[in-house]
Amino acid sequence: MRPTILHHPAPKRSVAPVFWLLFGAGGMLSALFGPALIILTGFMLPHGWGVPANFSDFPHVLAFVRHPIGKLVVLAVIALFFWHGAERLFLTLKDMRAGPPLLLRLMTYGVAALLTLVTIALLLAIGF
Amino acid sequence: MSDATIPSKSIELRVLRYRPASDREPVLVSYRVAYSDDMSVLQALQSIKDTQDGSLSFRWSCRMAVCGSCGMMINGEPKLACNTFVRDLAPDAVIIEPLQNFPIERDLVVTVGDFVKKIESIYPYIIPKVAKPVEDGAHLQTPAQMAAYESFSDCINCMLCYAACPQFGANPDFIGPGAMALLQRYNGDSRDGGRQFRLDQIHGEDGVWACTAVGICSEVCPKQVDPANAVNQNKTNSALDFFLHYVQPRSQP
């Protein structure tokens, strides 16, 4: 016989896990690739240090972002970085009680969502 | 008697007092106490109660960091009075206040009703996976299975983590670090079958998602329980459940 359990009503489910997972994915990506990307795109490519000649030429870069996998990489790196920053900023602003939560969500998640859509649109506009 | 036990020095304790019948608001009251090197803050308070003011109220029981009754703010930090020693605080005056983030009932005694309700809400007992009559013997467990939850079972419900947690301070409905550690203690137990009941209690805005990973709960824990770790593990569990509950219909508990 199963013992009698006094049941408690379950509270309403939060949508926070969606943003938390995007935050987590972006945090992982930025920790792994962020510094490397800064060094690559900020220093090595402009100066041609340690990269093959023509490595960052327009046709090369265009070919990269026209490839479906290249598009996914660029989307992940741009969008997830923003979602990571958005969550961190949102929590900080919420802790500081900087405004009503809905406004803070629009200012953080909203910006990340908008930039994600813009990135997708641009990646599609570049063509395949 | 060794020299260490002969009180030869004295220290000033400023205790936040609130006597509902006579005080409009809590006030700091200063006491001077003779102390020896082996005297805890709890003993100093007991000495005040015994020799200076019998009306001073505080909770205590075991005197050895097992019962979790004597949590209070000592110089602004949540501590157990019984394992905080006067010698480590001397010679400056020590400020003693009731646990932060809780309503004061009287002097250093705070109201714990909401905390107890939170503990109750996560089913703080084993719900057996399979019914097993007593005559069939014990529910066996390997040392590795026990290690999975043992550290979380060290929680003594002293509420120091709640006094330290800024999210609980901002939102008294937050289920809080202690209850999450206790949840993990039972969900991590191989004999238990109540995982889903408990998870269903923490999916809300005031559940596990109210935590912003400050981590001070684990720093102030006098039993090294690491509630922050329990919270993190259950953010993952709750996030998985968020997506699973769409594809895996289950009966309401």
Please state whether beta strands B71-74 and B9-17 pair in parallel, antiparallel, or not at all (unpaired).
unpaired
Q: Do B206 and A11 count as a contact with CB atoms less than 8 A apart?
A: yes
Do residue B85 and residue B130 come from a single domain? no
Which band of pLDDT confidence, cut at 50, 70 and 90, is reported for residue A42?
A: very high
On whether both B172 and B140 belong to a single domain, the answer is: yes
Answer yes or no: is pLDDT of A1 > 50. Answer: no
Q: In the structure, what pLDDT confidence band is assigned to residue B1 with cuts at 50, 70 and 90?
A: very low
Query: How many domains, in total, are found in chain B?
Result: 2
User: Domains in chain A, start-ordered, CATH in brackets?
Assistant: 20-126 (1.20.1300.10)
Q: What is the pLDDT of residue B253?
A: 47
* Same-domain check for residues B90 and B139: no
Is it the case that residue B250 has pLDDT exceeding 70?
Answer: no
Of the residues B67, B85, B110, the one at which a domain ends? B110
User: Nearest CA of chain A to the CA of B171: how many Å?
Assistant: 11
Report the chain B residue with the minimal C-alpha distance to residue A8: B121
Residues B163, B38 share a domain: no
What average pLDDT does the segment B151-160 reach? 97
pLDDT, tens only, B195-205: 999 999 999 99
Say if B8 falls within a structural domain.
yes
Q: Which residues of B touch A14 (CB under 8 A)?
A: 203-205, 207, 209
In a domain, B252, yes or no: no
Q: Residue B195 belongs to what domain range?
A: 113-247
Report pLDDT for A53: 83
pLDDT digits (tens, 9 = 90+) for B36-58: 999 999 999 999 999 999 999 99
> Is B128 found in the same domain as B242?
yes
Tell me which of B110, B131, B157 is where a domain ends.
B110
CATH code for the domain of B148: 1.10.1060.10
A8 contact B CB<8A: yes
B201 in a domain, yes or no? yes
Q: State whether B204 and A17 contact (CB < 8 Å).
A: no
pLDDT bracket for residue A3 (50, 70, 90): low
B160 CA: distance to closest CA in chain A (Å): 21
Tell me what the pLDDT averaged over chain B comes to. 94
Q: Are residues B118 and B86 in the same domain?
A: no
The token pair at B61 is 């029981």
Question: How far is A109 from A115, CA to CA, in rounded Å?
Answer: 10
Residue B178 within any structural domain of the chain = yes
Residue B102 and residue B31 in one domain: yes
Q: B74 - beta bridge partners?
A: B77, B96
Residue B213 is assigned to a structural domain of this protein? yes
What pLDDT score was predicted for residue B251? 56
Residue B141 CA to its chain's centroid (Å): 28
CATH number of B84's domain: 3.10.20.30
**pLDDT at residue number B3:** 53
pLDDT, tens digit, 9 for 90 and up, residues A53-89: 888 889 999 999 999 999 999 999 999 999 999 999 9
**B205 and A16: CB-CB below 8 Å?**
yes
ipTM of the complex: 0.79
Q: What amino acid is encoded at A43 in this protein?
A: F
**B72 strand-pairing partners:** B79
Domain C-terminal end among B51, B81, B110: B110
* Residue A126, pLDDT above cutoff 50: yes
DSSP A50: T
For residues A95 and B166, is the Cβ–Cβ distance under 8 A? Answer: yes
In a domain, B253, yes or no: no
Q: What is the mean pLDDT of residues B234-251?
A: 88
- Give yes or no for a contact between B61 and B69, defined as CB atoms under 8 angstroms apart: yes
> Are B213 and B227 within 8 A, CB to CB?
no
**According to the model, what pLDDT value does residue B248 have?**
79
Are residues B135 and B194 both part of a single domain?
yes
How far apart CA A93 and CA A100 sit, in angstroms, is 10
- B105 and B139 belong to one structural domain: no
Residue with more model confidence, A108 or A8: A108
Residue labelled with tokens 């569990």 = B237
Can you read off the two tokens belonging to residue A70? 């290249």
- Three-class DSSP labels, chain B: CCHHHCCCEEEEEEEEECCCCCCCCCEEEEEEEEECCCCEHHHHHHHHHHHCCCCCCCCCCCCCCCCCCCEEEECCEEEEHHHCEHHHCCCCCEEEECCCCCCEEECCEECCHHHHHHHHHCCCCCCECCCCCHHHCCCCCCHHHHHCCHHHHHCCCCCHHHHHCHHHHHCCCCCHHHHHHHHHHHHCCCCECCHHHHHCCCCCCCCHHHCCCCCHHHHHCCCCCCHHHHHHHHHHHHHHHHHHHHHCCCCCC
Q: pLDDT tens digit string along B10-33?
A: 999 999 999 999 999 999 999 999
Q: What is the token pair recorded at B88?
A: 């480590």
- Residues listed for chain A: 128
